[in-house]
Amino acid sequence: MARTPRHRRLVLPLLCLLFQGATALLFAVFVRYNHETDAALWHWGNHSTVDNEFYFRYPSFQDVHAMVFVGFGFLMVFLQRYGFSSVGFTFLVATFTLQWATLVQGFLHSFHGGHIHVGLERWAAVRDAGGSMTIHTFGAYFGLFLSRVLYRSQLEKSRQRQSSVYHSDLFAMIGTIFLWIFWPSFNSAPTALGDGQHRTALNTYYSLTASTLSTFALSALVSGDGRLDMVHIQNAALAGGVVVGTSSEMMLTPFGAVAAGFLAGTVSTLGYKFFTPVLESRFKVQDTCGVHNLHGMPGVLGALLGVVVAWLATHEVYGDGLQSVFPLIAQGQRSATSQAVYQLFGMFVTLALASVGGSLGGLLLKLPFLDSPPDSQCFEDQIYWEVPGEQEAEAQRPLRAEEQDTEA
Amino acid sequence: MARTPRHRRLVLPLLCLLFQGATALLFAVFVRYNHETDAALWHWGNHSTVDNEFYFRYPSFQDVHAMVFVGFGFLMVFLQRYGFSSVGFTFLVATFTLQWATLVQGFLHSFHGGHIHVGLERWAAVRDAGGSMTIHTFGAYFGLFLSRVLYRSQLEKSRQRQSSVYHSDLFAMIGTIFLWIFWPSFNSAPTALGDGQHRTALNTYYSLTASTLSTFALSALVSGDGRLDMVHIQNAALAGGVVVGTSSEMMLTPFGAVAAGFLAGTVSTLGYKFFTPVLESRFKVQDTCGVHNLHGMPGVLGALLGVVVAWLATHEVYGDGLQSVFPLIAQGQRSATSQAVYQLFGMFVTLALASVGGSLGGLLLKLPFLDSPPDSQCFEDQIYWEVPGEQEAEAQRPLRAEEQDTEA
Amino acid sequence: MARTPRHRRLVLPLLCLLFQGATALLFAVFVRYNHETDAALWHWGNHSTVDNEFYFRYPSFQDVHAMVFVGFGFLMVFLQRYGFSSVGFTFLVATFTLQWATLVQGFLHSFHGGHIHVGLERWAAVRDAGGSMTIHTFGAYFGLFLSRVLYRSQLEKSRQRQSSVYHSDLFAMIGTIFLWIFWPSFNSAPTALGDGQHRTALNTYYSLTASTLSTFALSALVSGDGRLDMVHIQNAALAGGVVVGTSSEMMLTPFGAVAAGFLAGTVSTLGYKFFTPVLESRFKVQDTCGVHNLHGMPGVLGALLGVVVAWLATHEVYGDGLQSVFPLIAQGQRSATSQAVYQLFGMFVTLALASVGGSLGGLLLKLPFLDSPPDSQCFEDQIYWEVPGEQEAEAQRPLRAEEQDTEA
């Protein structure tokens, strides 16, 4: 097994410790409880408990955690020897994000009197949710450009580890189902309370059901012998959640949600079958998990759908709700058409930032002191984790022995 | 391996596409947002957010999803080579149901002005929940009669796949625990807000604790050497949720809930041990998952329990709550006794419909063009799924190799 | 395999049946619905639904279930041949607890008019939550003293079963993530509604993020080659939830929460690496799951942190909230200093009770008729469960065969 060089041993610890030291310092100086969290500023008896936004935000907030930690963590466990890294590093990155979110969002939204005032409703994890553009499109193309820079022509050497085993696929299905169940909360978490949240959840459900149906249909259709492919079910079935990320808050209509979801599931499944191979052979982009199929294409489609639905916004259709969905239109500062143009512009800015950022990220990861695993050791937990490989062998052997006893 | 005939390849895709096309069309013509979901008709600021039933229904609604998708999906993963089908097809059928529910329930309950007006509180997944009769009894006997028609005398040939492996049993326990945790939400979801939902959840908890205890007790008692049987724990422990499906909304009393749950767990465990074999040998019904023990018998017991508790309903005991539990009694249109008779009648109607429906379903599935797997290939994912069988073997081999390195 | 003696077969069933009989009797005599659960005493229409505490308590209550059943149940599945026992016995003990909680808490808190009046807000599972002392410190040292009494000098004989296998570690990560996600609910469940619950959840999140980061850092730092250890990630990452169990309700400040969590994760990881071996060699305590590292040390640290934060409590800082966090201080019956002394005293009482109780428990388990497994059969499900060992072997063999077909 590839031995980790001595200095490598210090990279992760130093990264964590420096980060935590810095954030802790910033917390000490800037972060305070907001009026709904501070014992002195809010207390039941002085207020109706329901005024405390906590009771409307906390459930969504938990759902988003369940979705990210369990959902994304286990979705990538489908790789037979990369489960520890998939669950472990998702876990690590998510906690990083939670602390940063407090600071970044805090300085943007709740910085006054020299302090950030924190309560659940300020969290980025909740605040930026739902964005087909800002999350899915950005994340996907950032990663794809990064992967382009890090292209490995000899990755074939790790081929045998690039597929799943029976139980790793079942673990991945736990991830898929958690993502499916909590996607409506993810999209609706940052929307306005009331009809906004209600409508967003409903549209997301309709879109997910349609993408699931089209994924099953297409997966059987494109396969040689009509058998379903777990990779499609685990991923493409969720494309409906991505494609309505921008528009589910708007008056998309139930039919619009179903149509969008159906299209997304179809495009995503076809992407896995026909485009992913081309992406590697032609464009030298190795997209192991198919993020281009689940986040890239559905994300762009979702951004464009947002353009169209925004363009159709009228005072008649939205009534008082217009204020919470399109405040600038409601205040007459912007027409529906210009709103649509802004949406379209936002998508191109996102793609530009993602491509530049991803490319730079790739170059950064190529820095000599950040040595990466050899081509023959990719998708292998043993590089980063102590893996109970040998016990596994033993686990089989005594088992055989015990069977005899059981038989006896 | 049994190759899937060419035409077979089209059955699932056509089914999905036709269904989705039809529902999408119906959605376009009939489905609109209801007053709490439409931006123009409901907006925070004009109302107290709490008026929006979404905040009371959405959590139950999610719980029911988690219960069905994860719970039932993984409960059946106990079969060693049927995990993909169990999780995958539960996933597919559940999404089918969600779309149908909107239309069926919509036309029944929220069709006015030529449109269905949808919001979460109208959903069947929530609306029909809790029914010992309509869900468990019906489902169980429908399936058992269907299985009777499809009886395979040579199923022995698949015997080795009809049991579990160590990790498949652990996956199944994820299903069991999700079902246990969310059953109180499942039973209470469609009940009246307030004391109705509170009481239903509480009764369901008490009943589940008792069925769990009696299942552990009986499982050890009936086994040869006092060892517990995973099949009992995975299933019979949940019988307490089924048996109070009808009556948990009523004034069952905590003691009544405990007694009912204890009885259900006992009957269910004994069913697995002694009745399931007879069901196959005598009645030619192959009940692989023991639905008769978890849903059939406890469902009938639950229906009868509902008869008794309804019969005991009085204005004194229910007070104002009578209106929400037994509206017809509250309005004096029906006596408690006649309510009980109606309940009993309902059970027999359910059994009649289930037996006829299940038998017809069985005959339908025998149609020549719907060819089924050979007796030697039952409970085998490879018929419907591309299974990573070969990689599994490879996954073991390099492992052995790597161990050497780890040792080194 | 060690055969279970005939009489052994009756211990568990008798225990369950006697317990259930006794509680059922007590339920019949004493337990009634409380005013929010009884149809006659509370009904929507007469009240605002929101008055019904059910809607604020039920979600936390479910979260605590998910945390205990899934979280603790699967956390211990890391052992390669003890998964059934881990999940199964957690399941059994949790249901026992739920019934006892109703009675014990009922007699303590809601016994009037000769009856216990039950609704969700009375439950111990919710009422005693968060306690670094009463739950974690007590539980940990109770278990450690018990383990001391049951010390096995020949446990080496079961060494090969005392470690994990690849997939058992992934199951354990499901437990870890559930514990992480629901810990904020667990700590905040019994606190005052409003800012109390809001602040507790927020502090717990900050503490968990910090303990996760320090665990990753320390795990890589203390290992020989910079590779992470799953045991640390699965356990020490959660120490942040334990350490703020007492103080998260107080005005700990976000920085205080981060600092506490970071310390807890560090101490816990170092404990696994350096202290657990000493605990066995020097103190003859076999701590297989490292409860001393996750619950013991962080629990004591949490109790001491509670002493300090209570000591700093002032009317200025807490305002009206003081009444709900420190009622005796608010009512002027106690100074912050004496409150701190009481907290410290409480910790020592907890340690004393745990050590005495654990030792007695150990002696109890040594009673001859409760025969325990031989040293060579520890951590082995087959003692208590029918294990599908032989099918597992078969499951492999046909697989190989099928591969040929797949290839063909």
Q: What is the pLDDT of residues B358-394, one digit of tens each?
A: 999 999 988 877 778 888 889 999 888 999 864 444 4
**Is 90 exceeded by the pLDDT of residue B218?**
yes
DSSP three-state, residue C372: coil
Nearest to A74 by CA among A223, A208, A182: A182
Angle, alpha carbons B90-A140-A234 (nearest 5°): 15
Chain B neighbors of C77, CB-CB under 8 A = 170
What pTM was computed for the model? 0.90
Q: Which residue has the tokens 């050791």?
A: A377
More confident residue, A112 or B260: B260
Distance from CA of B374 to the nearest CA of C (A): 15
Category of C117 on φ-ψ map: left (φ > 0), alpha (ψ -120 to 50) or beta: beta
> How many CB atoms within 10 Å of residue B283?
15
DSSP notation for C238-255 = GHHHHHTTTTTTS---HH
- The answer to whether C98 contacts B205, with C-beta atoms less than 8 Å apart, is yes
- The answer to whether A31 contacts C255, with C-beta atoms less than 8 Å apart, is yes
Structure tokens at A371: 């040595």
Residues B241/B207, Cβ–Cβ less than 8 Å: yes
Distance CA B10, CA B47 (A): 51
- For chain B, which chains pass the contact test of at least 3 CB pairs under 8 Å? A, C
Q: Which residue has the tokens 């499944």?
A: A269
Q: What is the pLDDT along chain A (408 residues), one digit of tens a residue?
A: 444 556 667 888 898 899 999 999 999 999 988 888 888 887 776 776 667 778 878 888 888 888 888 888 888 888 888 899 998 898 898 888 888 888 877 787 778 888 888 877 547 333 334 677 778 999 999 999 999 999 999 998 888 888 889 999 999 999 999 999 999 988 888 888 888 888 999 999 999 999 999 999 999 999 888 899 999 999 999 999 999 999 999 999 999 999 999 999 999 999 999 999 999 999 999 999 999 999 999 999 999 999 999 999 999 999 888 888 888 888 898 899 998 888 888 888 889 999 999 999 999 988 877 778 888 889 999 888 999 864 444 444 433 333 334 333
Q: How many CA atoms lie within 13 A of C270 on its CB side?
A: 9
Could you read off the pLDDT of B157-172 as tens digits, one per residue? 888 888 899 999 999 9
Sign, CA torsion C294/C296/C297/C300: positive
Residues A38/A122, Cβ–Cβ less than 8 Å: no
The band of B8, judged by pLDDT with boundaries at 50, 70 and 90, is: low
Q: Residue A31 carries which DSSP code? A: E
- CB-based contacts of A273, cutoff 8 Å, min separation 6: A222, A232
**Is 80 exceeded by the pLDDT of residue C309?**
yes
Q: Residue C31 carries which DSSP code? A: E
Could you read off the pLDDT of B61-71 as tens digits, one per residue? 888 888 888 88
Rounded alpha-carbon distances, angstroms, from residue A11 to A99, A371, B365, C225, C241? 20, 11, 61, 12, 27
Nearest to A76 by CA among A65, A87, A66, A88: A87
Rounded alpha-carbon distances, angstroms, from residue B332 to B323, B337, C38, C339? 10, 12, 21, 59
Q: Residue B82 carries which DSSP code? A: -
Residues B69/B91, Cβ–Cβ less than 8 Å: yes
Least confident of A255-259, C130-134, C169-173: C130-134
Q: Which residue has the tokens 């604020």?
A: C56
Of A171-180, B7-16, C47-56, C119-128, give the range with the top mean pLDDT.
A171-180
Q: What is the mean pLDDT of chain B?
A: 85
Through-space distance between the first and last CA atoms of chain B, rounded to whole angstroms: 41
Chain B neighbors of C48, CB-CB under 8 A = 50
DSSP three-state, residue C42: coil
Chain A neighbors of B393, CB-CB under 8 A = none
Could you read off the pLDDT of A288-324 as tens digits, one per residue? 999 999 999 999 999 999 999 999 999 999 988 888 8
Q: Residue C3 carries which DSSP code? A: P
Amino acid (1-letter code) at residue B303: A
Q: How high is the pLDDT of residue A57?
A: 80
Burial class for C162, CB neighbours closer than 10 Å (0-12, 13-18, 19+): middle
- The answer to whether B225 contacts C402, with C-beta atoms less than 8 Å apart, is no
- CB-based contacts of B303, cutoff 8 Å, min separation 6: B132, B133, B137, B246, B343, B344, B346, B347, B350
**Is 90 exceeded by the pLDDT of residue B321?**
no
- CB-based contacts of C341, cutoff 8 Å, min separation 6: none
Mutating which of B17, B168, B407 best tests the A interface, going by the most A Cβ atoms within 10 A?
B17
- The answer to whether A209 contacts B88, with C-beta atoms less than 8 Å apart, is no
Could you read off the pLDDT of A68-118 as tens digits, one per residue? 888 888 888 888 888 999 988 988 988 888 888 888 777 877 788 888 888
- For chain A, which chains pass the contact test of at least 3 CB pairs under 8 Å? B, C
Distance CA C268, CA C219 (A): 10
Give the closest of A212, A390, A393 to B95, CB-based: A212
Q: How high is the pLDDT of residue B400?
A: 39
Distance CA B186, CA C404 (A): 45
Distance CA A207, CA A261 (A): 4
Give the closest of B196, B199, B209 to C99, CB-based: B209
DSSP three-state, residue B227: coil
Q: What are phi and psi of C188, to 5 degrees?
A: -90, -10
Q: How high is the pLDDT of residue A49?
A: 67
- CB-based contacts of C76, cutoff 8 Å, min separation 6: C82, C86, C90, C172, C175, C289
Residues A147/A285, Cβ–Cβ less than 8 Å: yes
- The answer to whether C209 contacts A99, with C-beta atoms less than 8 Å apart, is yes
Q: How high is the pLDDT of residue C49?
A: 67
Structure tokens at A93: 């990155």
Q: b/e for A141-162, b at 16 or more Cβ within 10 A?
A: bbbbbbbbbeebeebeebebbb
Distance CA C357, CA B231 (A): 35
Q: Which helix (H) or strand (E) holds A118?
A: strand A115-118
- Cα–chain-centroid distance for residue C392? 32
Q: How high is the pLDDT of residue C8?
A: 65
- Cα–chain-centroid distance for residue B75? 11
Residues forming a β-bridge with C117: C32
Distance from CA of C406 to the nearest CA of B (A): 7
Q: How high is the pLDDT of residue B114?
A: 85
Distance CA A122, CA A54 (A): 10
Distance CA C199, CA C119 (A): 25
Complex ipTM, two decimals? 0.88
Q: How high is the pLDDT of residue C99?
A: 86
Q: How high is the pLDDT of residue B7?
A: 64
Work out whether strand B115-118 and strand C31-33 pair parallel, antiparallel, or are unpaired: unpaired
Chain C neighbors of B189, CB-CB under 8 A = none
Residues forming a β-bridge with A44: A47
Through-space distance between the first and last CA atoms of chain C, rounded to whole angstroms: 41
Residues forming a β-bridge with B115: B112
Closest-approach residue (CA) in chain B for A249: B39
Residues forming a β-bridge with C228: A385
Amino acid (1-letter code) at residue B359: S
Give the closest of C181, C255, C324 to A28, CB-based: C255
- The answer to whether A16 contacts C214, with C-beta atoms less than 8 Å apart, is yes
- Tally the residues of chain A: 408
Distance CA A129, CA A246 (A): 10
Closest-approach residue (CA) in chain C for B259: C24
Q: How high is the pLDDT of residue B121?
A: 59
Distance CA C332, CA B315 (A): 48
Give the closest of C81, C185, C202 to A37, CB-based: C202
Q: How high is the pLDDT of residue A391?
A: 42
Distance from CA of A103 to the nearest CA of B (A): 29
> How many CB atoms within 10 Å of residue C353?
14
Distance CA B394, CA A81 (A): 11
Could you read off the pLDDT of B102-151 as tens digits, one per residue? 887 778 777 888 888 887 754 733 333 467 777 899 999 999 999 999 99
Nearest to B392 by CA among C164, A80, A381, C391: A80
Amino acid (1-letter code) at residue B268: S
Distance CA A183, CA A64 (A): 8
Chain A neighbors of B8, CB-CB under 8 A = 226
Distance CA A149, CA A379 (A): 18
Nearest to C2 by CA among C374, C261, C402: C374
Distance CA A170, CA A176 (A): 10
Q: How high is the pLDDT of residue A351?
A: 92
Could you read off the pLDDT of B344-358 as tens digits, one per residue? 888 888 899 999 999
More confident residue, C56 or A214: A214
Structure tokens at C77: 């599945």
